[in-house]
Structure 1
Amino acid sequence: MMSKNIIITGTSRGIGFELVQLFSKAGHHVLALSRNEEPIQKLKLDNVTTFPFDLANVNNYTKVEEFIKENWKQVDVLINNAGMLVNKPFAEITMEDFDAVYKTNVFGVAELTRIALPFMKDGSHVVTISSMGGVQGSMKFPGLAAYSSSKAAVITLTELLAEEYKESGVSFNVLALGAVQTEMLEEAFPGYQAPTTALEMAQYIFDFSLSGNKYYNGKLLQVSNSTP
């Protein structure tokens, strides 16, 4: 397989951390973006670049754009994996809580996609990670008003981008994940044991990001075998 240029967000733990290693082992070039770059740095992978990146900080995007221009010239796959979760009863959640969640989960996804698109070509793939909690008609859980509604927003954003860029050959798809045993799940559902590990889900996303665009564009795929 020809080496591809892959951008992944939320790489300091969980699914994103596993994805970086899978792509690296397969011989691809990876830009791993996270507020905490140390976990990826410690792996010392030759074909992986990482630096501190906060989706909520507008000044950080210039660094990504400059890196692509100077090193890659093109982006083959963008995986919008980073997410922020606030678990509070609705009566206690604040506008600041909503703002923080949406800056990472929605505005950050939109801006990084906008930055990457000029470097994407026919056959490139934008994969955004959503949640079953953001799917219309799915079971909802108290305390996740900001998180789940933000994950619903990126589903619609994906559908819109697929339509707007349908002549470009770039594909946009969104994966609504069910329960995966990650730190974020533990934050939302303390003590709950998910049937799927971070590595297992990362393997699915790895395969889908490289080949799913042959079969899907503008689609929401529900990747869940459990509730939540």
Structure 2
Amino acid sequence: MKNVVITGTSRGIGFELAQQFANNDCKVLALSRNDKPLKDLNHKNITTLSVDLGVESDIQKVTSFVNENWKNVDILINNAGKLINKPFTELSTDDFLEVYKVNVFGVAELTKAMIPFLKQNSHVVTISSMGGVQGSMKFPGLAAYSSAKGAVITLSELLAEEYKDTGIAFNVLALGAVQTEMLEEAFPDYKAPLSAKEMADYIYNFSLTGNKFYNGKILEVSSSTP
């Protein structure tokens, strides 16, 4: 029975992932500012915590839970994301900070907090975007979002190098468009080729086995090129 920490579990990919791990006999710590959707499922293998990744005391809640109940973490999935769609000249510093707070700083702080509980063969999977990959097509209006998604790619490469002697693997999945609530809010008329459940299936399998084949790698999970 693996211990799995997942962020951004109130809806979309994270919501589906938490259930998939739990239904396959994993213990799941599901983190989201709104923990009601998963809490209402009352699944015996899911513990929910209402967490704002930008608040230090909330990160401490996660650390305390793992320390008191699990002692180790097998899989950490940094899935939570914040997207603001505005023309570049309308993006304020506060907009950038709001996006980076979740997509970069939150990833860094939670990963840092979990490092003491990660062990050999643990896998840290960070969900990025094709918009953060050099040479990929970029969508106008996503300057804050895409640049943040590029930042966590570099962060994961660095962590893989820094912790290569520990046996902990750090990998990134750069996703193409997925039909989630976040996408619908930003681009109401766009229809993505994959559902949240379909992408969750892929991430689930990669999280369990990808660390055997990859470390410090960015895998582009997109059915289109670039």
Structure 2 residue ranges without an equivalent (≥5): none
Question: d(CA) in 1 for partners of 2:167 and 2:100?
Answer: 28
Q: Are residues 8 and 58 of structure 1, via their aligned partners in 2, closer, same or farther at CA, if it must alter by over 3 Å?
A: same
Question: d(CA) in 1 for partners of 2:103 and 2:44?
Answer: 29
Question: By how many angstroms is 1:185 displaced?
Answer: 1.2
Structure 1 residue ranges without an equivalent (≥5): none
Are 2:223 and 1:207 aligned? no
Q: How do 1:90-169 residues align onto structure 2 when only pairs under 5 Å count?
A: 90-169=88-167
Does the residue aligned with 2:121 lie in a helix, a strand or coil? coil
Deviation per CA, 1:48-70: give whole Å up to 9, x if none.
Answer: 10021011112111110100110
Tell me the residue number matched to 2:178. Answer: 180
- Structure 1 stretches of 4+ with a deviation exceeding 6 A read none
Question: d(CA) in 2 for partners of 1:64 and 1:57?
Answer: 11
Question: By how many angstroms is 1:13 displaced?
Answer: 0.3
Q: Are residues 227 and 179 of structure 1, via their aligned partners in 2, closer, same or farther at CA, if it must alter by over 3 Å?
A: farther
Q: How do 1:1-228 residues align onto structure 2 when only pairs under 5 Å count?
A: 3-226=1-224
Does the residue aligned with 2:86 lie in a helix, a strand or coil? coil
Q: Which amino acid aligns with 2:213?
A: Y
Percent identity (aligned)? 68
Does the residue aligned with 1:39 lie in a helix, a strand or coil? helix
Which stretch of the first structure deviates more once superposed, 36-45 or 182-191? 182-191
Q: Are residues 178 and 140 of structure 1, via their aligned partners in 2, closer, same or farther at CA, if it must alter by over 3 Å?
A: same
TM-score, length basis structure 1: 0.98
Question: d(CA) in 2 for partners of 1:55 and 1:136?
Answer: 27
Question: d(CA) in 1 for partners of 2:22 and 2:101?
Answer: 29
Deviation per CA, 1:96-141: give whole Å up to 9, x if none.
Answer: 0000100100000001000011101100000000000000010011
Question: By how many angstroms is 1:227 displaced?
Answer: 6.8
Contact in 2 for aligned 1:30/1:48 (Cα 8 Å): yes
Question: d(CA) in 2 for partners of 1:24 and 1:168?
Answer: 27
Give the number of aligned pairs: 226
Does the residue aligned with 1:73 lie in a helix, a strand or coil? coil
